[in-house]
């Protein structure tokens, strides 16, 4: 099982949804970077369940840092983050030891791990594991902020409700990073909440889109071809549970346009090169152009729904039905946005360290 991502700055995740604890190890971060435990707690709070639009499982998500930090600064060695699981209800998953939940990894896990996997709460495949990513990502986000690099994600859509796009990107990012429910148009918060609650009341779930913006990235970051900046970002983003699509800039919409509509015209002003538009999302030839990096992630509806569904018994290979029990999110798009921020920060720290050396992050 591949649990490590990154080359110079690398993240390893571990744990299961109903195990004793989960966590992450962040290696390759330069010594001397401030570790703000209050900011880590703030980021963890953005990922936690919140009210009727989220699961009833309420985890404290108190992060313990047990290595790699001394006197509030990184030492340069591996940073280990531990997060206890305290609110498991494993009895809800007894039947699921042999019945594959549609939309989940139960069947594929059975095929790969031959029944030895921890199936409770999705085990290692659970979105619960993203808590460690957010803890480590908080350190990366702070390190980038000190270098003038800002990251923000909003819920572009939830069901059929759409937020506005980025306009004044720097100000928009500041607004998003202090918001528990990340939208740019405040009026859309209630509309999206209502859409989630309607799905929940129908024993169903709902998906959405996340849009992320990054400012302050210098031109020249990334590689052509197989390690393009889009490739490594997409690699990380597709590791977020429920992400089924990633597009940069105009993305798929560019396929319906002409080159004259999509090409970004270059201009120079007082020695600074920029483009009049940003249809390519700040990346050309796999390398950052110096313009804001813009991308979207499609987040599928939560697969745990309370309707009767067709499935198979993995012991007998016979057709059967199931009704999922337990505590589940009717939507996860609002909780996933901080995970997108965290993955983005970790990828960019790695790419910047590869370009300029690890100590550049200090």
Dump pLDDT digits (tens) for 264-289.
Answer: 999 999 999 999 999 999 999 999 99
Residue 230 reports pLDDT greater than 60: yes
Max mean pLDDT range (97-101, 287-291, 321-325):
287-291
Question: What is the phi-psi region of residue 60: left when phi exceeds 0, alpha when psi lies from -120 to 50, beta otherwise?
Answer: alpha
How confident is the prediction for the chain on average, in pLDDT? 93
> Burial code of 346-361, b = ≥16 C-beta within 10 A, e = fewer?
bbbbbbbbbbeebeeb
Q: Which CATH superfamily is domain 4-361 in?
A: Chorismate synthase AroC (3.60.150.10)
Work out the average pLDDT over 219-228.
Answer: 96
Q: 333 falls in which pLDDT band (50, 70, 90)? A: very high
User: Could you give the angle at which helices 130-146 and 37-47 cross, rounded to 10 degrees?
Assistant: 130
The dihedral sign for the CA sequence 218, 229, 133, 5: negative
pLDDT for 144-153, tens place per residue?
A: 999 999 999 9
Task: Write out pLDDT tens, residues 135-173.
Answer: 999 999 999 999 999 999 999 999 999 999 999 999 999
The pLDDT assigned to 66 comes to 97
Return all residues near 357 (Cβ < 8 A) that are at least 6 apart: none
Give the predicted TM-score (pTM) of the model: 0.94
pLDDT confidence of residue 24: 97
In this prediction, residue 329 has a pLDDT band, given cuts at 50, 70 and 90, of confident
Residues 6+ apart with CB under 8 A from 170: 150, 215
User: Which is more confidently placed, 104 or 94?
Assistant: 104
- Token pair listed for 146: 């000190």
Q: Can you tell me the mean pLDDT for 9-34?
A: 95
Q: Are 332 and 128 in contact (CB under 8 A)?
A: no
> Could you tell me the pLDDT band of residue 88, with boundaries at 50, 70 and 90?
low
- Which one has a higher pLDDT value, 329 or 354? 354
């Amino acid at each position: 099982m591949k649990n490590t991502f990154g080359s110079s700055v690398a993240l390893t995740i571990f744990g299961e949804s109903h195990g004793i604890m989960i966590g992450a190890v962040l290696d390759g971060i330069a010594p001397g970077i401030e570790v703000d435990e209050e900011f880590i707690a703030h980021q963890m709070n953005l990922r936690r369940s919140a009210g009727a639009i989220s699961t009833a499982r309420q985890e404290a998500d108190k992060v313990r840092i047990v290595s790699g930090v001394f006197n509030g600064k990184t030492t340069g060695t591996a940073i280990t983050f531990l997060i206890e699981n305290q609110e498991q209800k494993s009895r809800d998953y007894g039947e699921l030891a042999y019945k594959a939940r549609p939309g989940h990894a139960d069947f594929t896990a059975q095929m790969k791990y031959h029944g030895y996997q921890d199936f409770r709460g999705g085990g290692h495949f659970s979105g619960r594991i993203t808590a460690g990513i957010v803890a480590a990502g908080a350190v990366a986000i702070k390190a980038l902020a000190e270098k003038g690099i800002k990251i923000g994600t909003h819920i572009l859509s939830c069901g059929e409700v759409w937020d506005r796009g980025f306009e004044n990107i720097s100000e928009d990012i500041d607004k998003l990073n202090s918001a528990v429910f990340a939208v740019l148009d405040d009026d859309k918060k209630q509309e999206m909440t209502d859409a989630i609650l309607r799905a929940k009341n129908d024993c169903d779930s709902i998906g959405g889109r996340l849009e992320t913006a990054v400012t302050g990235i210098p031109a020249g970051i990334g590689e052509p071809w197989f390690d393009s900046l889009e490739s490594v970002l997409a690699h990380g983003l597709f590791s977020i549970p429920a992400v089924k699509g990633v597009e940069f800039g105009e993305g798929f919409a560019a396929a319906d346009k002409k080159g004259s509509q999509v090409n970004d015209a270059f201009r120079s002003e007082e020695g600074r090169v920029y483009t009049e538009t940003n249809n390519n999302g700040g990346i050309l030839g796999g390398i950052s152009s110096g313009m804001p990096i813009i991308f979207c992630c499609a987040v599928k509806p939560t697969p745990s729904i309370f309707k009767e569904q067709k499935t198979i018994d993995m012991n007998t290979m016979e057709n059967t039905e199931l009704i999922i029990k337990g505590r589940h999110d009717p939507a996860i798009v609002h909780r996933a946005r901080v995970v997108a921020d965290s993955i983005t920060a970790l990828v960019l720290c790695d790419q910047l360290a590869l370009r300029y050396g690890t100590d550049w992050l200090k």
